């Protein structure tokens, strides 16, 4: 794990998911109710029953990675401490074994009384308790009626009309098949390229699909996922190992929001196959993984209780033996300032860091604020041990405008990697839809991580897997604050797991003259590279007859590789809607993105002063004043697999 691990207090009510409770108000308590955090002094010593707090899968993960099977942060909070707090407050909202504390709502008088209780180390004011509207919320864009969200646009996929279980179960297979038919050829090509761009072919040849790996998915809800044909095999084979709604404290996560259904499509969803026994091509890279589904986010509002729910879900995922956490949520200007995006100020950032310490790889969406005033990444993507994933335009292979950029507040590289930010995925109604947002880039990379975990075995430490994924980026060791290390590739990742990789041949030279330094491409690097055969050569491609559900459409006539039009303001992470129906990416035949030259100027600490991507239309691509590469500053350039540096 890079940097310093920050650990704050610790606790949990029991070995299972904690349930917040209510108690009677202490006599004499007056005043308005506020939110407080109560930190405890200690825990009970390790005993023979302590191991029961973790499942066999959790113990196996720790044993394989050489981690302590039990430590203080794993032990439950002393029940006497929790009972004493419960008796003195209005509401106990969360109890955390990791942080050895509890969040509660209490009056100032009750808070003063809590400070006098045995075992209480500190009582401090907790962030705002009232409901806050989402960032860039527009009045009338989402209507909330008795807890149910309704769409104002027929193309929006979230939030959608709530569907009762009874009504959904009454839907006929014919109706589901009809809904599934609405996939255009352009969207089908997008579905194939969103996984091909990360090395689907290499994973298929290696027989890797995430089998045996446990992936926990934290999201708004998974409405319709249990009835969607794309996940029939997941449920038939019993690979949904656990579900829990940490806002309503119940196991059912298949009501409420549908954003999680869209995210799961980018992990384990499938397109329709020839018949019910032969599934179609996968929309993600981990269709064989086992999943834990947690609802941690509410609908149409952002509350601090959702960060508490994320903490509880992370502790639950640890107990259930999760190997990877995929989180398509981000918290930004609703409760934080830009200078707090360092992974240490937010509760969810600290929880993610502790999850990584427990041996789980945490993959998080970078955020959708790249084209608004906030611009930068959100939390928990800002934490130093979290793999933050930005978005790429599938048509150009470059940063898509809505994807949040780095660095973190303490000037660390963020995002770490990038994947397609416009994808085809599953919807709550049983069909498929094109959506946009970094919420969908993150699960694509999480699926690749699951395959890497399967290939390396459970003995590979989570932070070593984190480093391998970053080093598998197509730009590594070059980086910038828009792309991170670029798209991770399965071929590069598997090669690094097998051993040292050969040093690439130089593709350019630094040429100095007078006061300038120039970057000049070598002649061999200007020749067109060899291209693979078209996608139809893939062994999992459907025949024309098997893909009869494709819907012929008249696509917008834009040249291949043209930037994809996106919404003027993409919704925050966790609340993305369908992409504009008339703005399908004008995809080139993969992977024929033109060769581009990336360059940046970095300080001695690696903090970027400037970065840019240039089209390589001639051998002389870049000229800069030599004085810019003095005083410890470094000019770093990437072109076609080779990274060179220049400094004076």
Task: Pick the catalytic residue from 90, 142, 219, 245.
Answer: 219
Tell me the C-alpha to C-alpha distance, in Å, between residue 152 and each of 158, 160, 532, 576: 10, 9, 44, 14
Burial 295-333 (b: 16+ CB within 10 A, else e): bbbbbbbbbbbbbbbbbbbbbbbbbbbbbbbbbbbbbbb
| Closest among 41, 486, 435, 428 to 220, alpha carbons compared | 428
| Distance from C-alpha of 611 to C-alpha of 223, rounded to nearest angstrom | 42
| Closest among 409, 399, 394 to 344, alpha carbons compared | 409
| Distance from C-alpha of 183 to C-alpha of 270, rounded to nearest angstrom | 13
| Closest among 352, 346, 318 to 331, alpha carbons compared | 346
275 phi and psi angles, rounded to 5 deg? -155, 180
Cβ(427)–Cβ(257) below 8 Å: no
Question: Look-up: residue for tokens 């934290």?
Answer: 218
DSSP-derived 3-state class of residue 362: strand
Cβ(224)–Cβ(428) below 8 Å: yes
- Which residues are CB-neighbours of 626 under 8 A, at least 6 positions away? 512, 515, 516, 517, 648
Measured at the CA of 413, the angle between CA 407 and CA 419, to 5 degrees, comes to 95
Task: Pick the catalytic residue from 305, 327, 385, 439.
Answer: 439
Structure tokens at 154: 């027929």
Task: Pick the catalytic residue from 228, 259, 399, 483.
Answer: 259
Neighbouring CB atoms inside 10 A of 207's CB total: 11
Pairing of strands 634-639, 596-602: antiparallel
Paired with 292 in beta bridges are 216, 242
Cβ(596)–Cβ(399) below 8 Å: no
480 is catalytic: no
Rg over alpha carbons for the chain, rounded to the nearest Å, is: 25
157 is catalytic: no
219 is catalytic: yes
Q: Beginning with the edge strand found earlier in the chain, give each strand of the sheet holding 620-625 in spatial order.
A: 508-513, 516-521, 620-625
List, by residue number, the catalytic residues. Answer: 219, 259, 439
């Amino acid at each position: 794990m890079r940097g310093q691990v920050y650990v704050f207090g610790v606790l949990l009510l029991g070995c299972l998911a904690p349930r917040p409770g209510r108690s009677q108000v202490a006599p004499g308590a007056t005043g308005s109710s506020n939110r407080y955090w109560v930190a405890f002094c200690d825990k009970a010593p390790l005993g023979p029953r302590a191991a029961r707090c973790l499942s066999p899968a959790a113990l196996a993960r720790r044993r394989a990675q050489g981690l302590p099977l039990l430590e203080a942060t794993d032990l439950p909070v002393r029940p006497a401490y929790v009972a004493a707090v419960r008796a003195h407050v209005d509401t106990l909202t969360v109890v955390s074994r990791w942080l050895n504390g509890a969040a509660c709502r209490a009056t100032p008088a009750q808070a003063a009384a809590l400070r006098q209780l045995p075992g209480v180390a500190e009582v401090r004011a907790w962030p705002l308790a009232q409901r806050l509207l989402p960032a860039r919320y527009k009045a009338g864009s989402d209507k909330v009626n008795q807890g149910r969200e309704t769409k104002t646009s027929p193309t929006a996929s979230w939030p959608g009309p709530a569907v009762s279980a009874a009504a959904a179960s009454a839907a006929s297979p014919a109706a589901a098949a009809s809904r599934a038919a609405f996939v255009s050829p352009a969207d089908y090509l997008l579905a194939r390229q969103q996984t091909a761009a990360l090395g689907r072919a290499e994973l298929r040849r290696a027989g890797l699909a995430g089998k045996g790996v446990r992936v926990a998915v934290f999201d708004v809800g998974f409405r319709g996922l249990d009835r969607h044909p794309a996940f029939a095999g997941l449920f038939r084979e019993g690979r949904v190992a656990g579900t829990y709604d940490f806002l309503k404290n119940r196991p059912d996560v298949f009501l409420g929001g549908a954003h999680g259904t869209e995210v799961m499509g980018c992990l384990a969803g499938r397109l329709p196959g020839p018949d019910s026994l032969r599934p179609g091509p996968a929309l993600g890279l981990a269709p064989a993984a086992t999943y834990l589904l947690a609802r941690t986010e509410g609908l149409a509002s952002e509350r601090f209780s959702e960060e508490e729910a994320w903490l509880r879900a992370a502790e639950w995922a640890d107990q259930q033996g999760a190997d990877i956490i995929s989180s398509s949520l981000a918290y930004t200007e609703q409760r934080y300032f830009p200078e707090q995006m360092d992974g240490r100020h937010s509760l969810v950032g600290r929880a993610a860091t502790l999850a990584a310490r427990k041996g789980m790889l945490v993959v998080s969406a970078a955020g959708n604020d790249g084209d608004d005033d906030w611009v930068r990444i959100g939390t928990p993507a800002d934490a130093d041990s979290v793999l933050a994933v930005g978005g790429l335009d599938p048509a150009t292979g470059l940063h898509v405008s809505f994807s949040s950029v780095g660095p973190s507040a303490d000037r660390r590289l963020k995002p770490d990697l990038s994947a397609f930010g416009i994808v085809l995925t599953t919807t709550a109604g049983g069909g498929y839809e094109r959506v946009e947002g970094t919420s969908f880039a993150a699960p694509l990379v999480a699926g690749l991580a699951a395959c890497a975990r399967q290939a390396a075995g459970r003995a590979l430490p989570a932070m070593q897997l984190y480093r391998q994924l970053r080093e598998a980026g197509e730009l590594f060791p070059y980086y910038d604050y828009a792309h991170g290390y670029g798209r991770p590739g399965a071929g590069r990742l598997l090669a690094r797991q097998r051993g040292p990789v050969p040093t690439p041949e130089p593709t350019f030279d630094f040429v100095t003259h007078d006061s300038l330094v120039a970057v000049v491409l070598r002649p061999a690097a200007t020749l067109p590279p060899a291209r693979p055969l078209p996608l139809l050569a893939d062994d999992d491609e459907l025949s024309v007859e098997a893909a009869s559900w494709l819907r012929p459409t008249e696509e917008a006539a834009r040249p291949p590789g043209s930037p994809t039009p996106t919404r003027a303001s993409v919704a925050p992470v966790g609340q993305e809607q369908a992409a504009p129906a008339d703005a399908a990416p004008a995809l080139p035949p993969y992977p024929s993105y033109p060769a581009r030259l990336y360059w940046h100027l970095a300080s001695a600490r690696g903090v970027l002063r400037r970065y840019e991507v240039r089209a390589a239309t001639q051998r002389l691509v870049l000229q800069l004043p030599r004085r810019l590469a003095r005083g410890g500053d470094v000019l770093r350039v990437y072109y076609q697999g080779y990274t060179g540096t220049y400094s004076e």
